[in-house]
A and B are shown apart, each in its own frame.
Chain A
Amino acid sequence: MSFSSTETPGDGELVRRARRGDERALGLLVQKYQRAAYAVAYSVTGRHEDSEDAAQEAFLVALERLDECRNPERFAGWLMTIVRNRSRNLVRREVLRETDQVPVSASSGTPGPDKEAELSELHDVLRQALGALPEVQRQVVLLHDLEGWKHREIADRIGLPSGTVRSHLHFARRALRDALGGHEAIEDRRRREG
């Protein structure tokens, strides 16, 4: 069973094929939703490694329970619920760690010590700003402004009215701008990126 390169099956079809063990179908679902799963996990855990673990686990749990996904067309919303639950469980279980703040992958690009320190500082600032937001606002702003999901998609997939999503997005953006707008490290980076 395979897809041609131009074929873009919908979630319903991909789920049905994955249920029959089609690796490519699962691969496409992972490719499509891995960033969003990570973003949702991050909105709960606030840590890179925990988010990575929770998002990966969520895909595996979703595969095992794929037959319970009653509406395959709405796979994304169902998956995000699993991601949130896994992330919350992880946070509950986890003893707070002190030293894994910088993503492992970030250091694999071999930045110099200055660059690494700067990245670490930027992450700390951003994490603090995000940490001050309610979880739902973190989710909404990450899914919208980082992952590019539309209001309607977010509303549909996290089970909120579209107006509420807009409202959360508005307050989250304002809070982030207030917290980060004048920060030196952030502004330097923005200027360099043009």
Chain B
Amino acid sequence: MKDDLDREGRDMEVASYLSLLDPASSDPNYWMRFQSRVLRDAAPELARRRVMADLTVGDVLTAWSRTLVPAAVLAAAMAGLIAVRSPAVSGPVAVEMGVEELLVLGIDDDPIPVALESDESAATLAFAGDRF
């Protein structure tokens, strides 16, 4: 059987059979209604996408800060409350110390700086004594 093809290469005999399946063959407005139904059902999603597309960077930052700022304030308030209500520290108390004191801390004998703290005349005598 020779194929009866149209310019687009469609087999006209087969196409005529298959055209029965096209709902528009008996209802010319079928595809318009189909499209309308899809668009109607898609309306909420389209609206959501429009809202998302309209958001600027500023909007996003504002929305973000609306959440972040109250959260930060709340966290700070809670931290303050905990600090105020917590009992006094009972362990070792920090005492202000200088570096020199820290260096000799725990050494029983007089450290060198202490040994050298003799008066000047004694030092001189000792020195003179060493010479003779």
Chain A interface (Cβ < 8 Å from any Cβ of B): 18-23, 26-27, 30-31, 34-35, 38-39, 42, 48, 52, 55-56, 59-60, 63-64, 103, 105-106, 108-109, 111, 119, 122-123, 126, 129, 141-142, 144-146, 148, 150-151, 173, 176-177, 180-181, 186, 189-190, 193
Contacts and interface: CB of A to CB of B under 8 A. Distances in A.
B8 interface: yes
Contact of A31 (B15, B25, B35): B35
Contacts of B50: 20-21
B31 A34 contact: yes
A122 B18 CA distance: 10
Contacts of A145: 10-11, 14-15, 18
B70 to A, nearest CB: 31
How many chain B residues sit at the interface, stated as a range, is 35 or more
Contact of B38 (A21, A30, A111): A30
B59 interface: no
A30 B126 CA distance: 111
28 contacts: A18-B46, A19-B53, A20-B53, A21-B51, A23-B39, A26-B38, A30-B34, A30-B39, A34-B34, A35-B31, A38-B23, A42-B21, A48-B23, A56-B34, A64-B45, A103-B26, A106-B25, A109-B27, A123-B21, A126-B21, A141-B18, A142-B21, A144-B9, A145-B11, A148-B8, A150-B8, A173-B3, A189-B20
Given A21-B48, A42-B21, A177 B14 contact: yes
Nearest to B32: A31
Interface of B: 1, 3, 8-11, 13-23, 25-27, 30-31, 34-35, 37-39, 41-43, 45-53
B80 to A, nearest CB: 44
Identify the interface centre among B13, B23, B39: most chain A CB within 10 Å of its CB: B23
Contacts of B17: 126, 129, 176, 180, 186
Contacts of B18: 126, 141-142, 145-146, 176
Contacts of B3: 173
Given A21-B48, A56-B37, A146-B15, A63 B22 contact: no
Contacts, number: 124
B49 A20 contact: yes
Nearest to B35: A30
Contact of B20 (A22, A60, A122): A122
A106 B26 contact: yes
Contacts of A181: 13
Closest 4 CB pairs of A and B: A21-B50, A21-B49, A105-B27, A20-B53
A129 B18 CA distance: 11
Given A21-B47, A142-B18, A59 B42 contact: yes
A149 to B, nearest CB: 9
Contacts of B20: 119, 122-123, 126, 189
B1 A177 contact: yes
Given A21-B53, A60-B45, A190 B27 contact: no
Contacts of A122: 20
